[in-house]
Structure 1
Amino acid sequence: MPNKEYYLYVKGKAIPISEEVYKAYWKITEHEKYLQKKDCKYGVISFSSLDHDGHFVDNIIDEKIDLEKIVEVKMQIEELNKALATLTKKERELIEAIFYKEESLRSIGKKEKVSYQTIGKRRDKILEKLRKLLEDKF
Protein backbone atom coordinates (compact mmCIF):
# COMPACT_ATOMS: atom_id res chain seq x y z
CA MET A 1 0.00 0.00 0.00
CA PRO A 2 1.55 3.33 -1.05
CA ASN A 3 2.03 6.14 1.48
CA LYS A 4 -0.94 8.46 1.68
CA GLU A 5 -0.21 12.08 0.83
CA TYR A 6 -1.47 14.85 3.10
CA TYR A 7 -2.20 18.42 2.08
CA LEU A 8 -3.31 21.64 3.69
CA TYR A 9 -4.79 24.36 1.56
CA VAL A 10 -3.35 27.83 1.92
CA LYS A 11 -4.92 30.56 -0.22
CA GLY A 12 -6.36 27.88 -2.50
CA LYS A 13 -3.07 26.07 -3.06
CA ALA A 14 -2.48 22.50 -1.86
CA ILE A 15 0.66 22.34 0.26
CA PRO A 16 2.04 18.82 0.86
CA ILE A 17 2.68 18.07 4.56
CA SER A 18 3.56 15.09 6.72
CA GLU A 19 0.90 12.91 8.36
CA GLU A 20 2.06 14.14 11.77
CA VAL A 21 1.55 17.81 10.86
CA TYR A 22 -1.79 16.99 9.21
CA LYS A 23 -3.13 15.24 12.33
CA ALA A 24 -1.83 17.98 14.65
CA TYR A 25 -3.48 20.65 12.49
CA TRP A 26 -6.87 18.91 12.54
CA LYS A 27 -6.64 18.18 16.27
CA ILE A 28 -6.15 21.89 16.95
CA THR A 29 -8.88 22.87 14.46
CA GLU A 30 -11.42 20.46 15.99
CA HIS A 31 -10.54 21.66 19.49
CA GLU A 32 -11.12 25.29 18.43
CA LYS A 33 -14.54 24.34 17.01
CA TYR A 34 -15.40 22.57 20.27
CA LEU A 35 -14.41 25.63 22.32
CA GLN A 36 -16.39 27.95 20.02
CA LYS A 37 -19.51 25.78 20.50
CA LYS A 38 -19.09 25.94 24.28
CA ASP A 39 -18.57 29.71 24.15
CA CYS A 40 -21.72 30.08 22.06
CA LYS A 41 -23.72 27.82 24.38
CA TYR A 42 -22.73 29.79 27.50
CA GLY A 43 -22.76 33.27 25.94
CA VAL A 44 -19.00 33.85 26.26
CA ILE A 45 -17.57 36.69 24.20
CA SER A 46 -13.91 37.34 23.48
CA PHE A 47 -12.06 40.47 24.54
CA SER A 48 -11.11 41.13 20.94
CA SER A 49 -14.79 41.49 20.02
CA LEU A 50 -15.00 44.34 22.56
CA ASP A 51 -11.93 46.13 21.22
CA HIS A 52 -13.57 47.76 18.20
CA ASP A 53 -12.26 51.23 19.05
CA GLY A 54 -9.03 50.47 20.92
CA HIS A 55 -10.63 50.94 24.36
CA PHE A 56 -12.02 47.52 25.19
CA VAL A 57 -12.09 48.18 28.96
CA ASP A 58 -14.54 51.05 28.41
CA ASN A 59 -16.69 48.80 26.22
CA ILE A 60 -17.24 46.14 28.87
CA ILE A 61 -20.67 46.48 30.43
CA ASP A 62 -21.97 43.83 32.82
CA GLU A 63 -25.67 43.93 32.08
CA LYS A 64 -26.40 41.47 34.89
CA ILE A 65 -25.49 44.05 37.53
CA ASP A 66 -27.94 46.90 37.95
CA LEU A 67 -25.92 49.45 39.94
CA GLU A 68 -28.88 51.80 40.32
CA LYS A 69 -30.95 48.99 41.83
CA ILE A 70 -28.15 48.10 44.25
CA VAL A 71 -27.91 51.72 45.43
CA GLU A 72 -31.70 51.98 45.70
CA VAL A 73 -31.93 48.81 47.81
CA LYS A 74 -29.08 49.97 50.03
CA MET A 75 -30.88 53.27 50.63
CA GLN A 76 -34.10 51.40 51.43
CA ILE A 77 -32.26 49.21 53.94
CA GLU A 78 -30.79 52.30 55.60
CA GLU A 79 -34.25 53.87 55.85
CA LEU A 80 -35.69 50.63 57.23
CA ASN A 81 -32.97 50.52 59.89
CA LYS A 82 -33.78 54.13 60.84
CA ALA A 83 -37.48 53.26 61.05
CA LEU A 84 -36.75 50.17 63.16
CA ALA A 85 -34.70 52.34 65.52
CA THR A 86 -37.84 54.40 66.26
CA LEU A 87 -39.70 51.35 67.63
CA THR A 88 -40.01 50.72 71.33
CA LYS A 89 -37.90 47.96 72.85
CA LYS A 90 -40.92 45.65 73.07
CA GLU A 91 -41.93 46.33 69.45
CA ARG A 92 -38.36 45.75 68.22
CA GLU A 93 -38.11 42.47 70.16
CA LEU A 94 -41.34 41.22 68.58
CA ILE A 95 -40.18 42.12 65.05
CA GLU A 96 -36.80 40.46 65.68
CA ALA A 97 -38.48 37.30 66.99
CA ILE A 98 -40.81 37.04 63.98
CA PHE A 99 -38.60 38.17 61.10
CA TYR A 100 -35.02 37.54 62.22
CA LYS A 101 -35.34 34.51 64.50
CA GLU A 102 -38.31 33.19 62.50
CA GLU A 103 -40.29 32.26 65.59
CA SER A 104 -43.94 31.38 65.11
CA LEU A 105 -46.72 33.56 66.48
CA ARG A 106 -47.84 30.61 68.64
CA SER A 107 -44.42 30.18 70.28
CA ILE A 108 -44.17 33.91 70.98
CA GLY A 109 -47.73 33.89 72.36
CA LYS A 110 -46.88 31.00 74.71
CA LYS A 111 -43.84 32.87 76.05
CA GLU A 112 -45.86 36.03 76.65
CA LYS A 113 -48.94 34.08 77.84
CA VAL A 114 -51.25 35.58 75.21
CA SER A 115 -52.96 34.13 72.14
CA TYR A 116 -51.22 33.96 68.78
CA GLN A 117 -53.99 36.23 67.43
CA THR A 118 -52.91 38.92 69.88
CA ILE A 119 -49.31 38.57 68.72
CA GLY A 120 -50.53 38.79 65.10
CA LYS A 121 -52.43 42.01 65.87
CA ARG A 122 -49.35 43.51 67.54
CA ARG A 123 -47.23 42.54 64.55
CA ASP A 124 -49.71 44.09 62.14
CA LYS A 125 -49.81 47.30 64.18
CA ILE A 126 -46.01 47.54 64.19
CA LEU A 127 -45.79 46.84 60.45
CA GLU A 128 -48.38 49.53 59.77
CA LYS A 129 -46.32 51.96 61.86
CA LEU A 130 -43.21 51.08 59.85
CA ARG A 131 -45.11 51.35 56.57
CA LYS A 132 -46.23 54.89 57.43
CA LEU A 133 -42.69 55.89 58.38
CA LEU A 134 -41.27 54.49 55.15
CA GLU A 135 -44.14 55.72 52.96
CA ASP A 136 -42.87 59.28 53.21
CA LYS A 137 -39.37 58.19 52.12
CA PHE A 138 -40.33 56.25 49.00
Structure 2
Amino acid sequence: MDHKNYYIEINGKKIPVTEEVYRAYKRPIWTEHKRNDRQKLCQVSSGKGGLKRCTDDCSKCSHKKEGGVLSLDGLEEAGYSVEGFAQDVAEIVAEKMLLEELFRTLKELDPSSQRICKLIMEGRSKREIARIMSIAQSSFEYQFKKLMAFLRECLKNYI
Protein backbone atom coordinates (compact mmCIF):
# COMPACT_ATOMS: atom_id res chain seq x y z
CA MET A 1 0.00 0.00 0.00
CA ASP A 2 1.49 3.32 -1.10
CA HIS A 3 1.20 6.19 1.41
CA LYS A 4 1.73 9.72 0.18
CA ASN A 5 3.36 12.24 2.51
CA TYR A 6 1.65 15.62 2.80
CA TYR A 7 3.38 18.83 3.80
CA ILE A 8 2.33 22.45 4.20
CA GLU A 9 4.73 25.34 4.35
CA ILE A 10 4.37 27.79 7.22
CA ASN A 11 6.94 30.54 7.75
CA GLY A 12 9.34 28.79 5.36
CA LYS A 13 9.18 25.47 7.24
CA LYS A 14 7.67 22.33 5.74
CA ILE A 15 5.40 20.67 8.30
CA PRO A 16 4.19 17.09 7.78
CA VAL A 17 0.40 16.88 8.04
CA THR A 18 -2.37 14.38 7.44
CA GLU A 19 -4.14 14.29 4.10
CA GLU A 20 -7.22 15.84 5.76
CA VAL A 21 -5.25 18.83 7.08
CA TYR A 22 -3.45 19.22 3.73
CA ARG A 23 -6.74 19.27 1.83
CA ALA A 24 -8.29 21.71 4.35
CA TYR A 25 -5.26 23.98 3.86
CA LYS A 26 -5.28 23.75 0.06
CA ARG A 27 -9.07 23.77 -0.56
CA PRO A 28 -9.51 27.56 -0.32
CA ILE A 29 -6.50 28.07 -2.59
CA TRP A 30 -7.83 25.60 -5.16
CA THR A 31 -11.30 27.18 -4.94
CA GLU A 32 -9.89 30.65 -5.55
CA HIS A 33 -7.90 29.43 -8.56
CA LYS A 34 -10.99 27.74 -10.01
CA ARG A 35 -13.12 30.84 -9.34
CA ASN A 36 -10.54 33.04 -11.05
CA ASP A 37 -10.44 30.71 -14.05
CA ARG A 38 -14.23 30.66 -14.29
CA GLN A 39 -14.50 34.41 -13.82
CA LYS A 40 -12.21 34.99 -16.79
CA LEU A 41 -14.33 32.88 -19.11
CA CYS A 42 -17.49 34.40 -20.47
CA GLN A 43 -20.37 32.37 -21.82
CA VAL A 44 -21.07 32.55 -25.53
CA SER A 45 -23.47 30.83 -27.85
CA SER A 46 -22.65 27.19 -28.53
CA GLY A 47 -24.27 27.49 -31.96
CA LYS A 48 -26.87 24.92 -30.89
CA GLY A 49 -29.12 27.18 -28.85
CA GLY A 50 -27.11 26.83 -25.63
CA LEU A 51 -24.14 28.49 -24.00
CA LYS A 52 -20.53 27.42 -23.66
CA ARG A 53 -17.49 28.90 -21.96
CA CYS A 54 -15.43 31.09 -24.25
CA THR A 55 -11.90 29.86 -24.98
CA ASP A 56 -10.68 33.04 -26.74
CA ASP A 57 -8.21 35.53 -25.29
CA CYS A 58 -10.29 37.44 -22.72
CA SER A 59 -8.24 40.65 -23.08
CA LYS A 60 -9.46 40.91 -26.70
CA CYS A 61 -12.95 39.48 -26.20
CA SER A 62 -16.01 41.56 -27.02
CA HIS A 63 -18.18 39.25 -24.88
CA LYS A 64 -16.30 39.96 -21.64
CA LYS A 65 -18.20 38.55 -18.69
CA GLU A 66 -19.83 41.18 -16.49
CA GLY A 67 -20.87 40.83 -12.86
CA GLY A 68 -18.32 38.12 -12.00
CA VAL A 69 -17.34 37.19 -8.51
CA LEU A 70 -15.21 39.84 -6.85
CA SER A 71 -11.82 38.89 -5.49
CA LEU A 72 -10.14 40.58 -2.52
CA ASP A 73 -7.77 42.27 -4.97
CA GLY A 74 -10.74 43.57 -6.91
CA LEU A 75 -12.30 45.00 -3.76
CA GLU A 76 -9.06 46.75 -2.83
CA GLU A 77 -8.75 48.18 -6.35
CA ALA A 78 -12.30 49.50 -6.01
CA GLY A 79 -11.26 51.36 -2.85
CA TYR A 80 -12.59 48.98 -0.19
CA SER A 81 -10.35 47.97 2.70
CA VAL A 82 -10.35 44.24 3.42
CA GLU A 83 -7.62 44.39 6.04
CA GLY A 84 -8.39 42.38 9.13
CA PHE A 85 -11.28 40.48 7.56
CA ALA A 86 -9.41 37.65 5.89
CA GLN A 87 -7.84 35.14 8.26
CA ASP A 88 -4.55 33.76 7.03
CA VAL A 89 -4.89 30.14 5.88
CA ALA A 90 -1.75 29.22 7.84
CA GLU A 91 -3.47 30.47 11.01
CA ILE A 92 -6.53 28.34 10.26
CA VAL A 93 -4.38 25.23 9.75
CA ALA A 94 -2.38 25.96 12.93
CA GLU A 95 -5.62 26.35 14.91
CA LYS A 96 -6.98 23.10 13.45
CA MET A 97 -3.81 21.26 14.40
CA LEU A 98 -3.97 22.73 17.92
CA LEU A 99 -7.60 21.63 18.30
CA GLU A 100 -6.84 18.12 17.04
CA GLU A 101 -4.01 17.78 19.57
CA LEU A 102 -6.21 19.24 22.34
CA PHE A 103 -8.98 16.71 21.66
CA ARG A 104 -6.44 13.86 21.58
CA THR A 105 -5.02 15.04 24.91
CA LEU A 106 -8.48 15.43 26.48
CA LYS A 107 -9.32 11.81 25.62
CA GLU A 108 -6.25 10.67 27.57
CA LEU A 109 -7.15 12.55 30.77
CA ASP A 110 -8.46 10.81 33.87
CA PRO A 111 -12.27 10.89 34.28
CA SER A 112 -12.17 13.66 36.90
CA SER A 113 -10.09 15.95 34.66
CA GLN A 114 -12.30 15.13 31.67
CA ARG A 115 -15.35 16.13 33.72
CA ILE A 116 -13.71 19.42 34.74
CA CYS A 117 -12.95 20.17 31.08
CA LYS A 118 -16.50 19.29 30.04
CA LEU A 119 -17.98 21.60 32.68
CA ILE A 120 -15.60 24.41 31.65
CA MET A 121 -16.69 23.97 28.01
CA GLU A 122 -20.31 24.26 29.19
CA GLY A 123 -19.41 27.68 30.59
CA ARG A 124 -19.60 26.76 34.27
CA SER A 125 -17.71 28.88 36.79
CA LYS A 126 -15.00 27.40 39.01
CA ARG A 127 -17.30 27.73 42.02
CA GLU A 128 -20.09 25.84 40.22
CA ILE A 129 -17.71 23.07 39.13
CA ALA A 130 -16.40 22.62 42.68
CA ARG A 131 -20.01 22.39 43.94
CA ILE A 132 -21.05 19.94 41.17
CA MET A 133 -18.04 17.73 41.86
CA SER A 134 -18.63 17.94 45.64
CA ILE A 135 -15.11 19.13 46.45
CA ALA A 136 -13.82 22.13 48.38
CA GLN A 137 -13.09 25.28 46.37
CA SER A 138 -9.39 25.16 47.40
CA SER A 139 -9.09 21.51 46.29
CA PHE A 140 -10.69 22.35 42.98
CA GLU A 141 -8.35 25.34 42.47
CA TYR A 142 -5.36 23.02 43.00
CA GLN A 143 -6.74 20.42 40.55
CA PHE A 144 -7.57 23.15 38.04
CA LYS A 145 -4.07 24.71 38.13
CA LYS A 146 -2.49 21.27 37.82
CA LEU A 147 -4.75 20.39 34.86
CA MET A 148 -4.07 23.68 33.05
CA ALA A 149 -0.30 23.28 33.55
CA PHE A 150 -0.52 19.75 32.13
CA LEU A 151 -2.52 20.90 29.09
CA ARG A 152 -0.11 23.81 28.47
CA GLU A 153 2.83 21.40 28.56
CA CYS A 154 1.14 18.97 26.16
CA LEU A 155 0.21 21.74 23.72
CA LYS A 156 3.35 23.89 23.99
CA ASN A 157 4.47 22.95 20.47
CA TYR A 158 1.18 24.24 19.05
CA ILE A 159 0.82 27.50 20.97
Question: TM-score, structure 1 length as denominator?
Answer: 0.50
State the aligned residue count.
87
CA distances 1:30-85 after superposition (whole Å, capped 9, x unpaired)? xxxxxxxxxxxxxxxxxxxxx8x95898x934762421211111111111111112
Greater per-residue helix proportion: 1
SS of 2:155's equivalent in the other structure is helix
Greater RCO, 1 or 2 (C-alpha within 8 Å, sep 6+): 2
Q: Tell me how large the CA RMSD over aligned residues is.
A: 3.3
Alpha-carbon distance in structure 2 between the residues aligned to 1:77 and 1:110: 28
Residue matched to 2:112: 90
- Give ranges in structure 2 of 5+ residues lacking alignment: 1-39, 41-56, 60-64, 74-81
SS of 1:103's equivalent in the other structure is coil
Moved over 6 A (4+): none
Percentage identity across paired residues of the two chains:
24
Alpha-carbon distance in structure 2 between the residues aligned to 1:137 and 1:109: 30
Residue matched to 1:115: 136
Instruction: Map 1:1-138; keep pairs closer than 5 Å.
Output: 54=58, 60-61=71-72, 64-98=86-120, 100-137=121-158
CA distances 1:11-47 after superposition (whole Å, capped 9, x unpaired)? xxxxxxxxxxxxxxxxxxxxxxxxxxxxxxxxxxxxx
8 Å Cα contact 2:94-2:158 kept in structure 1 = no
The one-letter amino acid of 1:113's match is: S
